Structure 1
Amino acid sequence: MSISIKSLLAFMMITAFFCSSASAKSPVEIANEQGAYIGEQYAPHGTMVIAARNGQILYADHPDIKWPPASMSKLMTIYLVYQAMEQGKFTKNTKVKVNDKFYAISQLPMLSNNHMRLGASYTVDELLQTALTDSSNVATYMLASLVDKNDTAFIDKMNQQAKALHMTHTHYYNPVGAPNNLLGPYKAKGYPEDDDNFSSAKDYAILSQHLISEFPDILSYTKKVEVTIKKGTQDEETFHTYNHSLEGAKLGYKGVDGLKTGSSDTAGFNTAITGHKNNMRIILTMMGVMNWYDPPAEFNRNIMANAIMDEIYQRYSYQKVLAKGKHQLGDQEVYIANDLYDIVDKKQKGTLKYENGKVQYEYKRQFVDRDDQPATVTYEDYKRYAMKKFVSDYFGWIVGLTTLSILLGLALLIYSLMPKKKKTS
């Protein structure tokens, strides 16, 4: 019964948090307050911002609404590719040949965003850059083939990984994010439905957090505004980023170095953005801005994202909230082992909570995943710490003096046991 009550209370707290977030300023309102002129028709279907470090939710507006991620689906494919490389299945230097299947996929109407020559070879490094910057569908299929040659088995892995990451509103039908009906004969046999992949802003915040924390190498690809593949060969191609918030891009925002956009006629314009500023990395996910056939929508997506990031960086900061050393806790003196750093909210006053040998900075907040927790550092009674430190600092002397005392004691004992010479007169 107690478990059920705790679960109910947790659910009520999360629901209340999201309801209050949803009733807060919308992305359109935030952008317009900063001088933009964006109509309500451009309001995203779902938006979320989290701190990459600990998964703390910094902003949420309808984050659980299911929506097609479009080419942001490629982030899950690339997550599995990085996992496979970590397991030693292949390396960035591994080459993949453009076979008949890959060549045909690159030629499909409404699906080809770059053309590959039949028989050409690409390294994993080149395919990662092409998939992330150009959002190449064929490059993504080529990468997926290294993880599992069977398309159905690979998509099974995508859905299994989504479940493992607690992405509860996500389901994949293909590795690239195009509407499944556009794949024609290349739809996976186990996923024949003419459906879109679907997910949510919250789920993609979770996926992005895992990608960045587990495989930060991805940022070496996503930070580039322009890239050239196979320079000086007949297969040379130059690609420009679709992430207009990338530092150096058209609507560049200081510190932004990733991550991936996604757009289609069914999804409109989506984005997953990450940036590091003021010693704090954040992740912003935005789903469903207007539709694919509205030219301003592509840029309004980034105008709203930039405005939200401005608000986040003005409100939140990552700071030291407790210095290591001796502190008074009521009638007890305690020793804090390390400096405690955490995210500080200017709109809320936090307190330090000491419990079971750990201290954390506490205020009303929520985290994107149930496994995320506030930062903690350990503490102990100061007298106990001082004694341990004394022993540690003078261990050599203590051992030496103890050994010397034992030896002297033994010498005296031996001396006392030795037979005494009788005095002669």
Structure 2
Amino acid sequence: MTRFLAALATVLLAAAPASAFDTAARAAMVIDMTSGAVLLEKNPDMPLPPASMSKLMTLDMTFEALQSGRLSLDETFPVSEKAWKMGGSRMFVRAGERVSIRDLLRGVIVQSGNDACVVLAEGLAGSEAAFAEKMNARAAELGMTGSHFVNATGWPDPEHRMTARDLMILVDRMVNVFPEYYPIFAETEFEWDGVKQSNRNPLLYLDLGADGLKTGHTEAAGYGLTGSAIRDGRRIAFVITGLDSMNSRSQEAERLLTWAFREFRTEQIATAGQIVGEAEVWVGEDATVPLTPEHDVIATAPWSDIDKMKTIIRYDGPIAAPIAAGDRIGDLVVEAPGLPPVSTPLIAAAAVAKGGLATRVGAAIRTLLRDEDALLLTE
């Protein structure tokens, strides 16, 4: 699990104040992926029709097969009559031909081809229905509790649903788990069989640092977009859905990105390996154990409140010896005004052996003395 997914899963990351940004989207989520901070949530756990944004799950499973070596980019899959007859956005593959995975990926990402999705689904699972079952099983493993898949494309079906939070999990995986394939999302055009099509992501044509991800539109879903952009090493990702036009989707996406980059600042609080505090040790050779964050601690706050961020060390102690270096001891909690707190695991930076007989006897005597003092206070 990536640091971002761990942050996304924790209950500490509750909704930011609704007044922070007013969006017309039916559901929305904005994340600073560098720190894991949730900048905006609106109906993030409401299952809604995802339209072609659902294709991110099909891509996730294809990328997993490629990364594991079960599939190669040069391998080809046959085009069935079912795939050839698919409506909506298409790559325009022909029944009976074989198409490489390399081309099918661009057919899905750049051209949003429903036919290309079906070819991948049938090639990976034998049938689209079997592939949908695998999608549901994998989604459950990934913690996508608000999703249910009926097909590989996002084709309208009353049982085919996803939440903004689940889509954000897939955005994180596209960026962080599959960095070797993510650059495809930034390609603005792809030509297949003499038909050149442009990427439908409107942000790719603006000077915003955008490099992904996927649009979606059906009558039931409205217009949606999962997007991501990076500036000066800081990445913002968002999900919006349920907008009423292509133009409003483009404008809302640009507004969200501009707001997130302009109104918030990200700072490094501590680095992995840096000693940030100590925890009391019980019956150890040392009285305390040094603490370090499990990974670099990066926090986000509104520009006006960046100096008001607070860090708090939390642990249940004293910690009983022996302690091994790397043991989880507690958490470093970063609090910023107007945003939910973000927690980073704290681990032991050094080992602490169990104390000898004298240490244990001394601890027992101190415990007895404390118990006697407590008893006297109650008499």
Q: Residue 212 of structure 1 aligns with which residue?
A: 175
Structure with more helix by fraction: 1
> What is the CA–CA distance in structure 2 between the aligned matches of 1:256 and 1:285, rounded to whole Å?
14
**TM-score of the aligned structures, taking structure 2 as reference length:** 0.73
Q: Which residue of 2 aligns with 1:61?
A: 42
Amino acid across the alignment from 2:264: Y
Residue 255 of structure 2 aligns with which residue?
A: 307
What is the Cα deviation at residue 156 of structure 1?
0.8
Corresponding letter in the other structure for 1:21: P
Report which stretch shifted further, 217-226 or 319-328: 319-328
Q: State the distance in 2 between where 1:338 and 1:264 align.
A: 43
Pair 341,118 (structure 1): closer, same or farther in 2 beyond 3 Å: same
Structure 1 letter corresponding to 2:169: I
Q: Residue 314 of structure 1: CA displacement?
A: 2.4
Match of 1:22 among 18, 21, 30: 18
Report the TM-score, using the length of structure 1 for normalisation.
Answer: 0.66
What corresponds to 1:287 in structure 2?
Answer: 241
Is the contact made by 1:318 and 1:341 (CA closer than 8 Å) also made in structure 2?
A: no
Alignment partner of 1:344 is 2:315? no
For residues 310-329 of structure 1, the aligned pairs below 5 Å read 310-322=258-270
| 8 Å Cα contact 2:57/2:135 also seen in 1 | yes
The 1:337–1:199 alpha-carbon spacing in structure 2 relative to 1, beyond 3 Å, is closer
Residue 70 of structure 1 aligns with which residue?
51
CA RMSD, 1 decimal: 3.2
When residues 61 and 338 of structure 1 are mapped into structure 2, their CA distance, relative to the original with a 3 A threshold, is closer
Q: Deviations over 1:234-287 (max 9, x none)?
A: x232120111012xx1xx142210010000121110100011113222210001
Structure 1 gaps of 5+ residues are 1-9, 28-42, 181-194, 230-234, 291-296, 368-372, 385-425
* Counterpart pick for 2:98 among 118, 121, 137: 121
Q: How far apart in 2 are the matches of 1:242 and 1:215?
A: 21
Question: How far apart are residue 301 of structure 1 and its match?
Answer: 1.1
In the alignment, the residues of structure 1 paired with residue 295 and residue 155 of structure 2 have an alpha-carbon distance, to the nearest angstrom, of 47
1:12-34 CA distance string (max 9 Å, x none): x76xx43x53354312xxxxxxx
CA apart distance, 1:137: 0.4
Conserved 8 A contact 2:216-2:225: yes
Within the alignment, does 1:91 sit opposite 2:68 as a pair?
A: no
Separation in structure 2 between the aligned mates of residue 345 and residue 66 of structure 1, nearest angstrom: 29
User: 1:113 is paired with a residue of what secondary structure?
Assistant: coil
CA contact (8 A) 2:275 2:349 kept: no
Q: Does the 8 Å contact 1:245/1:256 carry over to 2? A: yes
Determine the C-alpha separation between the residues in 1 that align with 2:190 and 2:314.
Answer: 51
Pair 1:100-2:81 in alignment: yes
Aligned twin of 2:368: none
Q: 1:342·1:361 contact (CA, 8 Å) conserved in 2?
A: no
Unaligned runs of 5+ in 2: 1-9, 281-287, 316-328, 353-379
Structure-2 change in CA distance of 1:147 and 1:327 (3 Å): closer
| Cα offset, 1:339, TM superposition | 8.7
1:335–1:228 CA distance, 2 compared to 1 (3 A): same
Return the offset for 1:67: 1.6
> CA distance change for structure 1 residues 200 and 57 in 2, over 3 Å: closer, same or farther?
same
1:207: Cα distance to partner?
1.9
- C-alpha distance in 2 between matches for 1:333 and 1:155: 49
Counterpart residue type for residue 47 of structure 1: A
Task: Report the more deviating stretch, 237-246 or 50-59.
Answer: 50-59
On the 8 A contact 2:277/2:292 being kept in 1, the answer is no
Match of 2:199 among 241, 262, 287: 241
Match of residue 179 from structure 1: 156
1:257 maps to what in 2?
211
Do residues 154 (structure 1) and 126 (structure 2) align? Answer: no
SS at match of 1:58: strand
Partners in 2 of 1:66 and 1:338 — Cα distance? 34
- Other structure's SS at 2:203 match: coil
Q: In structure 2, what is the equivalent of residue 354 of structure 1?
A: 313
What is the identity percentage for the equivalent residue pairs of Structure 1 and Structure 2?
A: 23
How far 1:334 sits from its partner (Å)?
5.9
Amino acid at match of 2:231: K
Contact 2:331 2:343 in 1 (8 A): no
The 8 Å contact of residues 359 and 379 in structure 1, kept in 2 or not, is answered as no
Partners in 2 of 1:328 and 1:65 — Cα distance?
A: 41
CA distance in structure 1 between the aligned counterparts of 2:289 and 2:133, rounded to whole angstroms: 55
Q: Tell me, yes or no, if the aligned pair for 2:32 and 2:300 is still in contact at 8 Å.
A: no
Q: Which has the higher strand share?
A: 2
Label 1:131 to 1:339 Cα distance change in 2 as closer, same or farther (>3 A).
Answer: closer
Whole-angstrom distance in 1 between the partners of 2:216 and 2:69: 30
Which whole-Å CA distance do the structure 2 matches of 1:112 and 1:98 have between them?
16
8 Å Cα contact 1:200-1:287 kept in structure 2: no
Q: Kindly provide the CA deviation profile for residues 160-199 of structure 1, in whole angstroms up to 9, marking residues without a partner as x.
A: 222222222221111101114xxxxxxxxxxxxxx25211
Q: Secondary structure at 2:180's aligned position in 1?
A: helix
Q: Distance in 2 between matches of 1:82 and 1:155?
A: 16
